Chains A and B, each alone.
Chain A
Amino acid sequence: MNAAIDHDVILKLVDVSKVYSGTVAVKRANFEVRKGAVNVLVGENGAGKSTLMKIIAGVEQPTLGRILLEGEEVSFSSSGEAVSRGIGMVFQELNLFGNLTVAENIFATREITNRFRKIDSREQERRAAEFLERLEAGIRPDMLVEDLRIGQQQLVEIAKAVSLDARILIMDEPTSALSAAEVEILFKVIADLKASGVAIVYISHRLEELIRIGDYITVLRDGRITGQEKMKNVDTQWIVRQMIGSDAKDFAKADGHVPGEEIFRAEDICLPRVTGGLAVDHVSLSLRTGEILGIYGLMGAGRSELFDCIMGRHGHATGTIFIAGKKVRERDTTRRIRRGLALIPEDRQREGLVSILSVASNLTLASLSRFVRLFHISGAKENQAVAQMVRELAIKVADPAQEVSSLSGGNQQKVVIGKALLTGPKVLLMDEPSRGIDVGAKADVFRTMRKLSRDGLGILFATSDLDEVMALSDRIAVMSNGKLTGMFDRAEATEAALVAASALGHGPVPHTESHAHD
């Protein structure tokens, strides 16, 4: 590793190992962070990326090994110490207080006070607004964090880290819930920070992103560092080879099977917003058996809300849905699941997982009735189903009885997917299913989707990733501002058309004519 001399090394990990109960997360890793550059870290789910970063940020302590900050050996016993030495981190799983406002979150533990030690919330909100402005987030600093969508929360998390004025800024999958537009803005911010000499560590599973903004790349595999290069010397293929030891599996190709008859139809779905206007605005669509309908849109386009309405999570939503031609009268989630709907929610921490239960219990939570005779859960049948899912989705877990919170982010996502699949649905709603999973797993999930559709499932799948939606969908619906603004067959869909449709009606003020309808 004598390639790079052009940027100074500010932080160095020497032979660092980290052992958790049940797994060795990092094995004798040597890692250098360079000033004024974007240091990229990639690796499969569970490779140890987050762990390595948590060690730098003082959240976890290394079992073995040394940390050198500007040549001086340091050890942080808490993230507070790391922050005081100028190390900030955007965590993969959001770490925000839902019951506090955006500004209060940004300045949590560093509250701005006046002479009498009273918190100066006016000043906090003003400063918070500056950071949010920089991210063009459109979030008011006095909003409660729990009222924000997950993508917005991620922006708050980023604003919080940026506001630390850190010398080393670690970003662990900062863009997993963002769509293209926000990513662009984030990249501009990163470029600014880089120019002012900040060392940035960037983790993502979106390889194009890495190629675009990275200066140095380090690849982790099974806790070991398997490659370190300058970004300009490598391409995606190289990254994938270092990551998984072989070439990338393709996105599953369309296999030419023809969708059957209609399995699902939604008519005139509306959902009023608390702040007035409609979050879902008279959306109607239909889905056939064996069809994958991609729903593309930007953040806040109303895709998740549409799914929520379909699942019966909002009592005040209007509109009707039909499954296999029959009107669904059930209004609650439980009975809609019984009718054959299943949802993979976007926010796995809050809605996808019961974090203190085991991997196995989480997987079977929605489908327990399948394993029940009379009222007894058959352990054998349950274990068999769990083992099958762990195998099919390649969930990396030593023992399914382990708590699900001990899995890496991507593997947790696979558990959420597995849970929905085990219910044996007729119609599967997937909200950003590939959030945080690595290229290999993504290919696995997409292949599973293809297989399911071949078996006659209808799949509705929301994503903000253009490539994904183009590669997977039989048809593509575009949503913008709560409305359906486009519906394309795959043959006629072009990226430009999708992007144009997704920007329709994106004015600063929500249109008012919708009130006339109600």
Chain B
Amino acid sequence: MTDIPAKASVASASNGSVLLTLMKARTFIALIAVLIFFSIAAPNFLSAANLILMSKHVALNAFLAMGMTFVIITGGIDLSVGSIVGLCGMVAGYLVLNGIDLQVGYTIYFNVFEIALITLAVGILIGAVNGLLITRLNVAPFIATLGVLYVARGLALLSSDGRTFPNLVGKPDLGTTGFGFLGAGRLLGLPVSIWILVVVALGAAYLAKYTPLGRHIFAVGGNERAARISGVRVNMVKMFVYMFSGFCAAIVGLIISSELMASHPATGESFELNAIAAAVLGGTSMSGGRGTIGGTIVGAFVIGILSDGLVMMGVSSFWQMVIKGLVIIVAVVVDQAQRRLQSRVTLMQMAKAG
């Protein structure tokens, strides 16, 4: 009995298993396909400047999608990320321009590094609010984060009465200059935001694979009750994923306002949908328990390149929407087909092995 699986794995490389390998790498293949397609169809697509520009766009969605991936793996959803992006951008802008007025005649100004830390803290805090609503008050994730979506967006609008904080250059005498570095700076020829993405992504992938917390995230999504009885701190795990999602959203808020050197309260509207799309395209299962950071990043690249490429080709934004939707649907259909094919292929291998 036990010798049969061993034999079967020897008998590989049949037609089916080639197809299976192709399907497993489908997001990656999709990525290469869009790259090839646009490099032919859109002039200048492969120029270094354009590639860097695109990856900066992709990075924004990739951050959100990573946070979203963990949330979805635990069986939840985070609709509030777009609003957190907007609110965090406003927080950063406000701090650069106004500092904090202590009401006693003093105003504290922070340097850019401190501003970044405070903004990240705000993002994490909002994530914690999501987490508390979901774990302590038992609100369904969809509803809790939907509520926070509105609250955070409302606060962002209130913070400036709906106006933009322009011109975030800061004043040298207050030490608030240099805010543009995040969005426009370069290290070793690559944009700073890309480096941050690399660091956060490697960290998240490591966390998912090699730490107890990562394992627990999957366990909670797979069977919350069993996880609890096994001693997994389910509430802590959920708090973490929403706080991490908030953290990622805060990074995006910082980067966008730094790129534009301005904060606009409507920034980030509908970003949550792109993030969900990237996660799903990368193989994250909406019912929880399944997903990878690597897959999500590739998914974000596919979506990002697709929309930038279509823009370059001059396709109307209406058609862009249709195409993006179709790509997402096709991705999930292929995902299902792969599962079916997988068992079929093993059958064929078995048959060969006798």
Contacts and interface: CB of A to CB of B under 8 A. Distances in A.
Interface of A: 19-24, 63, 222-223, 311, 313, 333-334, 337-338, 343, 345, 350-357, 361, 365-366, 368-369, 372, 375-377, 379, 398-399, 419, 423
B48 interface: no
A337 B231 contact: yes
A376 B211 contact: yes
Is chain B's interface secondary structure helix, strand, loop, or mixed overall? helix
Nearest to B214: A377
Contact of B289 (A22, A337, A357): A357
Interface stretch (B140-148, B268-276, B293-301, B342-350): B342-350
A21 B289 contact: no
Contacts of A398: 2, 5
A123 to B, nearest CB: 35
**Closest CB pairs A-B (n = 6):** A21-B346, A354-B222, A337-B231, A366-B230, A398-B5, A368-B212
Nearest to B227: A354
Given A357-B219, A365-B219, A22 B346 contact: yes
Interface in B142-187: none
A47 B223 CA distance: 27
A369 B233 CA distance: 13
Contacts of B290: 356
B232 interface: yes
B210 A377 contact: yes
13 contacts: A19-B350, A21-B347, A22-B346, A223-B1, A313-B229, A345-B229, A357-B218, A357-B222, A357-B289, A361-B218, A376-B211, A377-B215, A398-B2
Given A63-B347, A333-B229, A356-B289, A24 B212 contact: no
B229 A353 contact: no
A24 B1 contact: yes
A338 B232 CA distance: 11
A337 B222 CA distance: 21
B220 to A, nearest CB: 9
Contacts of A22: 5, 8, 346
Interface in B85-143: none
Nearest to B211: A375
Scoring B1, B231, B347 by chain A CB atoms within 10 A of each residue's CB, the highest score goes to B231
Interface string B278-292: 000000000001100
A399 B222 contact: no
Contact of B223 (A354, A375, A399): A354
A325 to B, nearest CB: 23
Interface string B284-323: 0000011000000000000000000000000000000000
Contacts of A419: 230
Nearest to B348: A19
A21 B20 CA distance: 14
Interface of B: 1-2, 4-5, 8, 210-213, 215-216, 218-219, 222-223, 225-233, 289-290, 342-343, 346-347, 350-351
A153 to B, nearest CB: 15
A300 B201 CA distance: 50
Contacts of B289: 354, 356-357
Contacts of B233: 334
B5 A365 contact: no
Contacts of B347: 19, 21, 63
Given A354-B289, A361-B218, A377-B215, 5 more contacts: A345-B229, A356-B290, A357-B218, A365-B219, A419-B230
B343 A350 contact: no
A365 B230 contact: yes
Contacts of A350: 223, 225-226
Contacts of B213: 375
A355 B212 contact: no
Given A365-B227, A368-B215, A356 B222 contact: yes
A377 B232 contact: no
A386 B269 CA distance: 47
Contacts of A351: 225-226, 229
Contacts of A377: 210-212, 215
Scoring B215, B229, B350 by chain A CB atoms within 10 A of each residue's CB, the highest score goes to B229
Nearest to A420: B230
Nearest to A337: B231
A236 B122 CA distance: 69
A21 B229 contact: no
B231 A366 contact: yes
A472 B225 CA distance: 30
B328 to A, nearest CB: 23
A365 B227 CA distance: 8
B219 A354 contact: yes
Given A350-B226, A352-B226, A365 B4 contact: no
B222 A375 contact: no
B231 A375 contact: no
B339 to A, nearest CB: 10
A361 B215 contact: yes
Contacts of A369: 212
Contacts of A355: 222-223
A311 B228 CA distance: 11
B219 A21 contact: no
B203 to A, nearest CB: 11
B219 to A, nearest CB: 5
Scoring A350, A352, A357, A375 by chain B CB atoms within 10 A of each residue's CB, the highest score goes to A357
A338 B230 CA distance: 11
Nearest to A63: B347
A376 B211 CA distance: 5
Nearest to A357: B222
A346 to B, nearest CB: 11
Nearest to B207: A375
A353 B226 contact: yes
B42 to A, nearest CB: 41
A377 B209 CA distance: 9
Contacts of B225: 350-351
A375 B210 CA distance: 8
Contacts of B210: 376-377, 379
Contacts of B4: 23-24
Contact of A20 (B222, B227, B343): B343
A64 to B, nearest CB: 9
B56 to A, nearest CB: 31
A350 B224 CA distance: 9
Scoring B1, B4, B227, B351 by chain A CB atoms within 10 A of each residue's CB, the highest score goes to B1
Nearest to B234: A334
Contact of A338 (B1, B8, B211, B231): B231
Scoring A19, A311, A399 by chain B CB atoms within 10 A of each residue's CB, the highest score goes to A19
Given A24-B1, A24-B4, A357-B219, A372 B212 contact: yes
Contacts of B230: 337, 365-366, 419
A333 B231 contact: yes
A333 B218 contact: no
Contacts of B350: 19, 24
B34 to A, nearest CB: 30
A365 B2 contact: no
B205 to A, nearest CB: 13
Contacts of B223: 350, 353-355
Contacts of B5: 22-23, 398-399
A111 B200 CA distance: 53
A334 B2 contact: no
Nearest to A224: B1
Scoring A21, A222, A343, A369 by chain B CB atoms within 10 A of each residue's CB, the highest score goes to A21
Contacts of A372: 211-212
Nearest to B353: A24
